[in-house]
Amino acid sequence: MAKILIIDDEAPIRAGLREILEYEGYHVQEAEDGVEGVRLATKFAFDVIFCDIKMPNLDGLGVLEALGEKQVKSWVVMISGHGTVETAVEALKIGACDFIEKPFDLNRILLSVRHAMEKGQLLKETERLQRKIQTERSTAIVGESEAIRGIVEMICTVAPSDARVLITGGNGTGKELVARQMHELSTRHDAPFVEVNCAAIPSELIESELFGHEKGAFTSAIKQRKGKFEQAQGGTLFLDEIGDMSLKAQAKVLRALQENRIIRVGGEKEILVDVRIVAATNKDLRAEMDQGNFREDLYHRLAVIPLHVPSLNERRSDIPLLVEHFLARICEQHGKVMSEVKPEAMRLLEHANWTGNIRELRNVVERLVILAPKGGVITEELVSRFGNLSD
């Protein structure tokens, strides 16, 4: 049940309000002035605070300011026997969520508490989702192996420039993570990071996806649409799986890179674009060029800075760090106590053949967290039984 603090210098007011709230099952504490109220509010976590406007030592507006400075997240409802519209507006500006006049109306009090609780739950859920998104999109590169230190050093060197980067490596090695880190450390970090998976878009739609289209350009073009180049204006455009792009689309991308201009499908007007291109592929583009599947001139435009991401099998010393990293994230997402990995279990993970690289390791860790018995211990037996590891 919610915890509520009443700050008022009049004992009868505190007693009456307390009786109403305790009857509804709320836990209530009292403070006889603003100074004591701020002390209690910073010491204990209250869901809702009822605070009088007129009090000696520290009035209600002073309490609001003090709670804001101390970053107290309780919802504050101001109460007053002689309030004005100006006072109410000022209180709401400073951070109050509601304003109630004396004498109290029972239904008004309970409605205010309910609204404050709903706002609190909404705020907590929003913060949880933000933490989840931030965690899932975290650009931190985990690892201390020589290969990873080399990649991080290269990112720090290249990121501030506008040089195009071609990232190579197998599926699941973390190429997107490298691209995001490149963007976050660049001078364009406040502008959009726009990703295009070239392998997931049909060849007949890739031009529309990249360059946009005008209304009526084709049957389903019912309105004008901006492409990824325009959406990434001022920021970074990440062309993932560039090796799967059709030759026709490659030619148009090459032109866009050469001239920094695009034309929407079905349009005639040239549009100036300012984007940094970071591309990635799991293919050997030199072999693709030999087979006529990839343009050599586009390759040289993209690979100003080539950057290869090693496979997980090439950086096994990072596996314990990666496991601990994934454990913390996954346990938080599933609301579980942080799991412990027994040394024998960790050795199995370190010596497995990770054909799916970091993505496969994360999936295995999540499976083990979910299937681990109460207490969260990941044993050698659990890994052998449910890890589905290949030698």
User: Residues near 20 by Cβ (< 8 Å), separated by ≥ 6?
Assistant: 104, 106, 109, 110
Residue 128 has what pLDDT?
58
Residues 159 and 182: beta-carbon distance below 8 Å: yes
The average confidence (pLDDT) of the chain is 88
Q: What is the pLDDT of residue 262?
A: 93
Domains of the chain are: 3-128 (3.40.50.2300), 146-310 (3.40.50.300), 314-386 (1.10.8.60)
> Do residues 34 and 55 touch, judged by C-beta distance below 8 A?
yes
Q: Residues 268-297: what's their mean pLDDT?
A: 95
Region for 169 from its dihedrals, namely left if φ exceeds 0, alpha if ψ lies in -120 to 50, beta otherwise = left
CA 19 vs. chain centroid, Å, equals: 43
What burial class does residue 107 get, using C-beta atoms within 10 Å of its C-beta: 0-12 exposed, 13-18 middle, 19+ buried? exposed
Position 135 scores a pLDDT of: 43
- For residues 278 and 273, what is the distance between their CA atoms, to the nearest angstrom? 15
Query: Is residue 358 pLDDT above 90, yes or no?
Result: yes
DSSP 64: H
Could you tell me the pTM of the whole model?
A: 0.64
* Secondary structure (3-state) at 363: helix
Amino acid 133: pLDDT? 45
Chain centre distance of CA 182: 17
The predicted-structure confidence for 69-98, as pLDDT tens digits, reads as follows: 888 888 899 888 776 677 778 888 888 888
What is the reported pLDDT for 390?
72
Share of the chain above pLDDT 90, in %: 57
